Structure 1
Amino acid sequence: MLTNNSKDQLIIKILIAFAAIVYLVGLFVDVAGDAAKYAAIAKNIYHSGDFVNLTIHGDAYDQKPPFLFWLSTLGYALFGISNFSFKLFPVLYGLLGLFFVYKLGSSMYSKQVGKLAALLLGFSEIYYLYSVDVHTDVVLLSNMAFALWQLHEYLKSKKAVNFVLGFFGVGLSVMTKGPIGLFVPALAVISYLLFNQQYRELFNPKWILGLLITFVTAIPAFYGLYNQFGLEGIEFFFWTNNFGRIAGTYVGSTNTDYFFYLHTLLYIFAPWGFVLFFAIFFEFKSLAGRKANKADYFLHGGIWLFFLILSVARGKSPNYILIIMPLLTVLLAKWLNYFLEKPETGLYRVVTKLQGAIVVLLWVCLMLFVGYLFPMKQFAYWGLIVVGLVGTWFIYKQGSTPAIRFFAPSMLVITLLSFFLNAHILPYIFQYQSSIVATRVFNEKADADARLYNYDYEQFELFFYGRDEVELIEDSTELKVVTANPDSWIFCYEKGLKDIQALEVPVDTIYEFKHRGVYRTGIQFINPSSRERSLGTTFLVKLK
């Protein structure tokens, strides 16, 4: 229930402006792990001009289709290679997805539900986080929301333009993360037709035309894989890379926690995770007591079977849930709109008290992070916290509607938490991501004709941050060849250093770094009293 009250509108506009600043700050944060790998692949595209035959450290790459990399390559072409240019267009594309979520909610239920859904998603930790740690999934979410919006419009209006755009959106989803992008729209459409008893429509030949549109849109992905891997690449794209992760036969996936996405949603969808489960409970309770409307079948068809598959799959990661977040967010918006229309009921009081408790909990977490775990010394940052506390009090006391008192404090605290994550906590942690630190040492100190090598280090940061092409040393035989070349720089762990020393080659300088990977922090690192004990050691070896 977002009203036209001028005071409430001003509060929302201020929060949106603050959120925009947070998203902007996140563009400059370093990347590691998969995000660094994607940045390096886009860097290779930029240098080679080859947009379909993807490579990483000189080897052909088959894990992801090229759509994300194209967006980042555009950033490199306009602004040069940097964190900012890698993230800019994927993040902007992700933010465009909020508009598509608004249109999806409006198409399925009402404009009010659409507005709420877009706000809920844009002011959620999952969206803030994956706009910093850029994965294919935030781009996939946008394409998925667009496809679902257009397909639902087609089911309502039977307009050909919605049909074509819907399957074009499905094709873009396939171009972003493979055939999994076809699965959710197919389930949503089949469920809609089946439960609305439109059985003839299920077998209409027009769906073959839709699949053809999808296939044609995704041709660049197929072409690159076939060109580099032959038919094995096509098999990998359609089967191994998706169903192998589900079965646990690919990339060593072993997560058997069937409740992983349930408890993950509680924090990754903060501050709305708890009320989401509240809304899901009442949605099923409502469905048990009445006949669902047409949009409900589209909604639940697109969510629950896929959610079940994700839950039983051996390969799990929090970002995998993003593909169904457009529908989950619409479901939540639908019920929050209902709750807040009835402020006199006990149900309203329960929901508002629950969300108020979440606001308090998030403030406690924020103070714990910046006051103890990663203490801040900047006076201006503490001033911002004071402003946030005063703003929260003002909204609760002066907000003119139940809706603004419900939403705005949560939006404020999650945005503050994300701001300090981007501006303070992540930069602090990244000083221990020694691969990036070492690469910057090389970029600054090495001669123009020096070469940087990666030996015995399993991640990809060097390939993105290195000023020139970085080479991978895969075994001791290759190491022996490299060490025969003067002015080689080799990044490695202690084992790699011992391998180099065993060759008795002349060494100029050994740079030593404290190391803890951003994705492997753990309780011992987070706790200041045990942080030093959690650190490993890496080395950058400059040969004579």
Structure 2
Amino acid sequence: MDRFLQQYFRPLLALGIVLNATGIFTQVFTGDSILYADIAKNMAQRNDWLNLFAYGKDWLDKPHFPFWMAAISFKIFGINAFAYKLPAFLFWLAGIYYTYKIAAKLYNNVVAKCAALVYVIALHGVISNFDVKAEPYLTTLIIAATYYILLAYREDKLSYILMAALFSGFAVMTKGIFVLLTIAGGLALYFILSRQWKEFFKVKWYLLIVLILVVIFPELYALYTQFDLHPEKVVFDKQNVSGIQFFLWDSQFGRFFNTGPIKGSGDNSFFLHTTLWAFLPWSVIFLFALLKGAKQLKLTGERWILYGAALLTFLIFSVSDFQLPHYIIILFPHFSIAVAAYLTALAKTQTARNLAIVQFVLFCLSLVFIILLSWLINNPGKYIVMAAGIIIAGVCFLFTVNKKDSLHKTMLYSFAFACVLYPFMNLYFYPFLMQYQAGMKAAQDVNLTQQRYEHAMDHYSTQYRFYADKEPVTLTNMRDVSAFLEKENPRIFITQPTLDSLRMMYTKFNILKAYNDFHVTKLSLNFLRDHTRKNTLNKCYIITSVK
């Protein structure tokens, strides 16, 4: 493996980065991604770095750090999809570096290089660079904080404590205080297992806690000024809501125990089967590493700082009542190092040959998948996409098939899987889905209007608002819609029910353009099928007054 990595590490790493980078040049996906982009746009436009607003009102859910990063990027590059995704992508790049660094400290440079290659093409990591939420930030902040905590354990240096506090504090300001379990839970578990009771009383760890509190002070201050100072504000349909209490308790323990204002329903096996697809193409190897590779992982000593944290976090996720697939991404550095440690210890064994076969099968399935999906959705250019996929697969196969070492084949077939699937996702399939983001398409059309205009929306569309060059008005009832049509050169983004109501009221208007709309984060087979898709679509419109 060492000789292979000396030859291929840099080219494969660069290839993995390029595959991920294809996602940052696409538009912002609907759901949480466009919501977060809209919140950051609000922040940048208002120059208000303390208050978070969404849907035209105060918003209390996630901490500020990702919005600060996106808003700063908007200030530099303008308000657009690329500017929203860029800082998250840069953080993700830093995550590769820290995954490498901590693997090198716990194992060696061979494992570290292998871990970086595993991490760079993990499926849900690639998705998170397209569908950007908080995870690219959070994953890097957690593994970086863990790295500096490891260094601080080994050596009493103030700089290590300062860096650990900085990254830990930023992580808390990204997701909440539960992230400290993922950062330091493994360290505490290691102290207990190794009976290092005196470590719990060392001054440096209490200094770390104090410094984390200092780092998160801006978050606490922002929440205090927006909510605690204003008990009259209505949040979660009630008044007297404390932003600080929500941040420290309700958003974390409230979700875990399902007692907070934001609830979910959990399944203890959810993250087990989520990992099987989210960590492709490495998930089968990861299972081998867990079930058969205890000796290869050499789960002793300081490695508990890493793997203990992953174990605790996975258990907490599994028993929680609030579960979403992207939560698992924060453990990808841990998983990647486990896979790398397992692979580099296999050498020329039957297991290594079996894993090469598994990765070859996954590679073949990726080609079958893109061909079938291209045929199913029947989007223009499908034959070009199929041909491109076959050509890429053929080149990858010819490059790999004559390699004699099974581990080399395992790595190369895994990257072949990525080369076939990820360009298809980011450059063809996701852009196809974007056609059905009506708010985005409508705003882009309205932006092309040459003459002066006033525009509005009959519901708060985060898509429409983010992509609109001018601030739209939100109309809350039919009377407001009718009144807005009296303005000079109006443009109103409306849904089908509003259009039907206007017709029932005999209100005069012109339809400038109609749009197909679908909630593309909730895909269905009927939507994907070309001949049944129209039955799943909703209609939205841009209307204007009759001259």
SS at match of 2:330: helix
Q: Which digits, 9 at most, give the CA deviation of each residue in 1:57-79, with x for residues without a partner?
A: 43222222222222222332232
Quote the residue 1:367 is aligned against: 371
Query: CA separation of 1:370/1:295 partners in 2, compared to 1, >3 Å: closer, same or farther?
Result: farther
Contact 1:194 1:202 in 2 (8 A): no
Quote the residue 1:423 is aligned against: 427
Contact 1:193 1:199 in 2 (8 A): yes
Which of the numbers 280, 300, 304 marks the counterpart of 1:297?
A: 304
Q: How many Å apart are 1:431 and its aligned residue? A: 0.6
Higher mean alpha-carbon deviation, 293-302 vs 262-271, is at: 293-302
Distance 2:303 2:437 in 1: 46
Quote the residue 2:328 is aligned against: 321
Q: How many Å apart are 1:467 and its aligned residue? A: 1.0
Superposed counterparts of 1:91-490, under 5 Å: 91-230=89-228, 232-250=242-260, 253-283=263-293, 292-339=299-346, 341=347, 343=348, 345-374=349-378, 377=381, 381=385, 384-399=388-403, 401-445=405-449, 447-455=451-459, 459-475=461-477, 482=484, 485-490=487-492
Quote the residue 2:231 is aligned against: none
SS at match of 1:158: coil
Contact 1:373 1:526 in 2 (8 A): yes
Amino acid at match of 2:310: I
Distance 1:383 1:13 in 2: 28
Higher mean alpha-carbon deviation, 392-401 vs 98-107, is at: 392-401
Which of the numbers 509, 518, 536 marks the counterpart of 1:534?
A: 536
Contact 2:517 2:540 in 1 (8 A): yes
Amino acid at match of 1:3: R
Contact 1:44 1:55 in 2 (8 A): yes
Quote the residue 2:69 is aligned against: 71
Contact 2:258 2:264 in 1 (8 A): yes
SS at match of 2:492: strand
Amino acid at match of 1:388: I
Contact 2:486 2:545 in 1 (8 A): no
Distance 1:196 1:225 in 2: 40
What is the alpha-carbon root mean square deviation over aligned residues? Answer: 2.6
Q: Which digits, 9 at most, give the CA deviation of each residue in 1:222-261, with x for residues without a partner?
A: 1211111117000111122222322334566443322111
Contact 1:108 1:152 in 2 (8 A): no
Higher mean alpha-carbon deviation, 516-525 vs 445-454, is at: 445-454
Amino acid at match of 1:521: L
Which of the numbers 25, 47, 70 marks the counterpart of 1:49?
A: 47
Q: How many Å apart are 1:320 and its aligned residue? A: 0.8
The two structures have a TM-score, normalised by structure 1, of 0.90
Q: How many Å apart are 1:37 and its aligned residue? A: 1.2
Higher mean alpha-carbon deviation, 13-22 vs 267-276, is at: 13-22
SS at match of 1:299: helix
Q: Which digits, 9 at most, give the CA deviation of each residue in 1:351-386, with x for residues without a partner?
A: 222222222222221222234445562776555434
Contact 2:458 2:495 in 1 (8 A): no
Stretches of structure 1 that go unaligned for 5 or more consecutive residues are none
SS at match of 2:521: helix
Contact 1:15 1:412 in 2 (8 A): no
Distance 2:25 2:12 in 1: 21
Which of the numbers 25, 30, 34 marks the counterpart of 2:27?
A: 30
Contact 1:90 1:139 in 2 (8 A): yes
Q: How many Å apart are 1:283 and its aligned residue? A: 4.5
Q: How many Å apart are 1:445 and its aligned residue? A: 3.0
Contact 1:516 1:534 in 2 (8 A): yes
Quote the residue 2:495 is aligned against: 493
Distance 2:409 2:367 in 1: 16
Q: How many Å apart are 1:534 and its aligned residue? A: 1.8
Query: CA separation of 1:400/1:332 partners in 2, compared to 1, >3 Å: closer, same or farther?
Result: same
Q: Which digits, 9 at most, give the CA deviation of each residue in 1:119-155, with x for residues without a partner?
A: 1111121121110110111110011110011111222
Distance 2:16 2:380 in 1: 21
Higher mean alpha-carbon deviation, 402-411 vs 471-480, is at: 471-480
Q: Which digits, 9 at most, give the CA deviation of each residue in 1:2-34, with x for residues without a partner?
A: 42577x42xx54444443433333112122211
Query: CA separation of 1:517/1:2 partners in 2, compared to 1, >3 Å: closer, same or farther?
Result: farther
Pair 1:507-2:509 in alignment? yes
Higher mean alpha-carbon deviation, 48-57 vs 88-97, is at: 48-57
Distance 2:24 2:218 in 1: 28
Distance 1:47 1:436 in 2: 19
Distance 1:293 1:252 in 2: 39
SS at match of 1:520: coil
Quote the residue 1:59 is aligned against: 57
Stretches of structure 2 that go unaligned for 5 or more consecutive residues are 229-240
SS at match of 2:510: strand
The two structures have a TM-score, normalised by structure 2, of 0.90
Identity %: 25
Distance 2:196 2:20 in 1: 44
Distance 2:529 2:333 in 1: 36
Contact 2:52 2:59 in 1 (8 A): yes
Query: CA separation of 1:484/1:209 partners in 2, compared to 1, >3 Å: closer, same or farther?
Result: farther
Contact 1:395 1:405 in 2 (8 A): no
Amino acid at match of 1:399: K
Query: CA separation of 1:46/1:368 partners in 2, compared to 1, >3 Å: closer, same or farther?
Result: same
Distance 1:149 1:489 in 2: 53
